[in-house]
Amino acid sequence: MDKIVICDLELAAQVGVTAEEQAVAQRLLVGIEMELDLNEAGRTDEISATVDYAAVADVACRTVAARPRKLIESVAYDVAQAVLRVTGVRSVTVEVKKFSVPAARYVSARMTCWSS
């Protein structure tokens, strides 16, 4: 299956379990991998045959900013569902990276959702 990938979209979000984490927007990196057939887009060079990845990035930004969340898992799920609603992709995998564990480069949650 063909893929379009948005790698490490930088967003600020209120996410965390504690009040201290929720108090200030935190930096997140969001990766979005969409599976779809890209043959027609490759053959025709027409935007209508593919996914407008700028629009997907915008949807992800608006989804993350819409409300505070406790878990990055919730961020990943909400972004995945929003991407499925606005595109014709067969499946989407969203990875959300958070930088809250000092001894680790990052912590992430990765989730795959399929269109129904």
Catalytic site includes residue 3: no
Q: Which residues of 66-88 are buried (b: 16+ CB within 10 A; e: fewer)?
A: eeebeebebbbbbbbebbbeebe
Of 3, 70, 97, 98, the active-site residue reads: 98
The DSSP element (H or E) to which 63 belongs, if any, is: helix 53-65
Are 41 and 50 in contact by the 8 Å Cβ rule? The answer is yes
Q: Could you give the residue numbers annotated as active site?
A: 98
